[in-house]
Homo-oligomer: A and B are copies of this chain.
Amino acid sequence: MNVTDSTETVEQWDIFELALHGSAEGNPYLDVELTAQFAYKHRMVEVDGFYDGNGIYHIRFMPDAPGTWRYFTQSNLNALNGAGGTFTCVAPTPGNPGPVRVSNTYHFTYADGTPYKQVGTTCYAWTHQSDELEEQTLATLRSAQFNKLRMCIFPKHYLFNENEPALYPFPCLSRGSSTWDISRIWAGETPRGWSFDFSRFDPAFFQHLERRVADLMALGIEADIILFHPYDRWGFATMDAGTDVRYLHYVVARLAAYRNIWWSMANEYDLLKQKTMADWDRFFRIVQEHDPYQHPRSIHNWVAFYDHAKPWVTHLSIQRSDLAQTRTWREQYRKPVVVDECGYEGNIPPSWGNISAEEMVHRFWEGTVNGGYVGHGETFLHPEDILWWAKGGVLRGQSAPRLAFLRRILEDSPAAGLDPVDAVLSSWTGFPCAGQQHDYYLAYFGRHQPAQVTVHVPQDEQYRGEVIDTWSMTVTPLEESIGCGAVVQLPGKPYQALIMRRIYEAR
């Protein structure tokens, strides 16, 4: 092939996709190697291509700087080797802030510098439902104001999750039962009846997945992609090591160019009894080495924490209900803490799936004032087993609007993030507080109901106070400014917060 210039333009942090026609013979997934180098001035980025079925090979690339980019392909298949060209990257349009990165040790920022204040939710298996239900989920997300969604690539088998998906990631060779005692997987058994050709992928499955990732991107929602999980009846949790690696290569090649991707190595990794800690380390390194954009990487626990201090972990993804520990985890690992699972608002029998809306909102605020970020989910009994936490649909609870209110509060807080602060409310009063010293303080009183608190902002500084009712979603400005030692009157009821913003004198 020859190098050809192109008039194509691509928005910064959008996807440039190159389609190449090759051969469908043999097993292209195993036989064909394809990479491309994208060059911007003197910088070079190497990107993996992938086979997309019907003799078509794709290479996807997310340019991160405006200007002219050049590319050139390498392949062991002549038809794919040596293709090259240029395209022009143009400035992003509104609503495209780029991918999210860790910033300021404990926080996140979009590539364009906009702070990213994570208020996430969970629909593990939403892409394995009917088109109608998936569209309803997107309609709900459009108004709900969550900015991250945890979702699995593999379909899910669990309580309230027994429907078969329309598509599987691998060609299905024989179908088995849709019922399976999940504890048998955890005991090391492999489910019987189902078999797949693990040497190939099903492009239709991934094309569908990508469409949904793009739908989330259009809504400004980060897709926290869960690569492995234990809730399995098909054998995807117990594939051999070679298949696991091919799967990771393929997923990263297909998805990494979507700017809203986050990588979660697993949901409840410690329930995947057939994987070792060395496996998880290896998975992290594979993703780290093959993702040209270094999307956020984490791993979510059932009980035992993975060692989040390992260098390939960008942030903590925690399952725990005691949000006050967030501060300890920050100090322990020196990374952002996202408590992705702290219980779900709902009424199903298991205790993790029936906390009240008040408790859900309380946990978000408690995580926030301890310097972290929290995740939502909803599990109300439904006659057709459509629970938001797994399948999406509509939200039935009362917490989501309060979390949207919290997100507005956070987006109106310092760009540097909220870090725990000790000095403002004396340790004797014992209320958690976060902020940025000399600029902004947020104290949260939770289930406490003081009628007044004495505030120790720094000497010779004045602050503007706002009393926040986290449940009623009201913001009540205080009439008098706050100096050191000021006594602030509060409503004397639970779930209140107090914001203090520095008043800077006009010079």
A residues with CB within 8 A of B: 346-352, 354-356, 358-359, 381, 428-431, 445, 447-454, 492-494
Q: A449 to nearest B CB, angstroms? A: 5
- Determine if A350 and B447 form an interchain contact, defined as CB atoms under 8 angstroms apart: no
Residues of chain B within 8 A (CB-CB) of A358 are 447, 494
Q: A471 to nearest B CB, angstroms? A: 12
List 8 contacting pairs A-B, 8 Å CB cutoff, sorted by A: A348-B451, A349-B452, A349-B453, A354-B450, A356-B449, A358-B447, A358-B494, A359-B447
Beyond the given A348-B450, A381-B451, please list 7 additional residue pairs across the A-B interface where CB-CB is below 8 A: A347-B451, A348-B451, A349-B429, A354-B450, A356-B494, A359-B447, A359-B494
Residues of chain B within 8 A (CB-CB) of A493 are 356
Residues of chain B within 8 A (CB-CB) of A352 are 430
- Determine if A449 and B494 form an interchain contact, defined as CB atoms under 8 angstroms apart: no
Q: What separation, in Å, do the CA atoms of A352 and B355 have in the docked complex?
A: 25
The answer, among B355, B450, B453, B492, for a CB contact under 8 Å with A447, is B355
Residues of chain B within 8 A (CB-CB) of A447 are 355-356, 358-359
Q: What separation, in Å, do the CA atoms of A402 and B448 have in the docked complex?
A: 19
- Determine if B349 and A450 form an interchain contact, defined as CB atoms under 8 angstroms apart: yes
- Determine if B429 and A350 form an interchain contact, defined as CB atoms under 8 angstroms apart: yes
Which chain B residue has the least Cβ–Cβ distance from A431? B351
The A interface is mostly helix, strand or loop, or mixed, namely loop
Q: What separation, in Å, do the CA atoms of A67 and B448 have in the docked complex?
A: 55
Q: A327 to nearest B CB, angstroms? A: 16
Q: Most B CB atoms within 10 A — which of A347, A355, A430? A: A347
- Determine if A448 and B494 form an interchain contact, defined as CB atoms under 8 angstroms apart: no
Known: A356-B493, A356-B494, A494-B358. A351 touches B448 (CB 8 A): yes
Q: What separation, in Å, do the CA atoms of A349 and B352 have in the docked complex?
A: 33
Q: A303 to nearest B CB, angstroms? A: 12
- Determine if B350 and A428 form an interchain contact, defined as CB atoms under 8 angstroms apart: yes
Residues of chain B within 8 A (CB-CB) of A451 are 347-348, 354, 381
Which chain B residue has the least Cβ–Cβ distance from A430? B351
Residues of chain B within 8 A (CB-CB) of A430 are 350-352
Q: What separation, in Å, do the CA atoms of A41 and B232 have in the docked complex?
A: 76
Q: A324 to nearest B CB, angstroms? A: 10
Residues of chain B within 8 A (CB-CB) of A346 are 449
Which chain B residue has the least Cβ–Cβ distance from A450? B354
Q: What separation, in Å, do the CA atoms of A5 and B131 have in the docked complex?
A: 99
Q: A336 to nearest B CB, angstroms? A: 27
Q: What separation, in Å, do the CA atoms of A128 and B355 have in the docked complex?
A: 45
Residues of chain B within 8 A (CB-CB) of A428 are 350
Q: What separation, in Å, do the CA atoms of A358 and B374 have in the docked complex?
A: 24
Known: A352-B430, A430-B352. A449 touches B347 (CB 8 A): yes
Q: What separation, in Å, do the CA atoms of A431 and B343 have in the docked complex?
A: 14
Q: What separation, in Å, do the CA atoms of A459 and B428 have in the docked complex?
A: 52
Q: What separation, in Å, do the CA atoms of A428 and B349 have in the docked complex?
A: 9
Residues of chain B within 8 A (CB-CB) of A381 are 451-452
Q: What separation, in Å, do the CA atoms of A485 and B384 have in the docked complex?
A: 23
Residues of chain B within 8 A (CB-CB) of A494 are 356, 358-359
- Determine if A351 and B429 form an interchain contact, defined as CB atoms under 8 angstroms apart: yes
Q: What separation, in Å, do the CA atoms of A387 and B359 have in the docked complex?
A: 30
Known: A347-B492, A349-B454. A355 touches B429 (CB 8 A): no
Q: What separation, in Å, do the CA atoms of A381 and B447 have in the docked complex?
A: 18
Q: A296 to nearest B CB, angstroms? A: 30
Q: A26 to nearest B CB, angstroms? A: 48
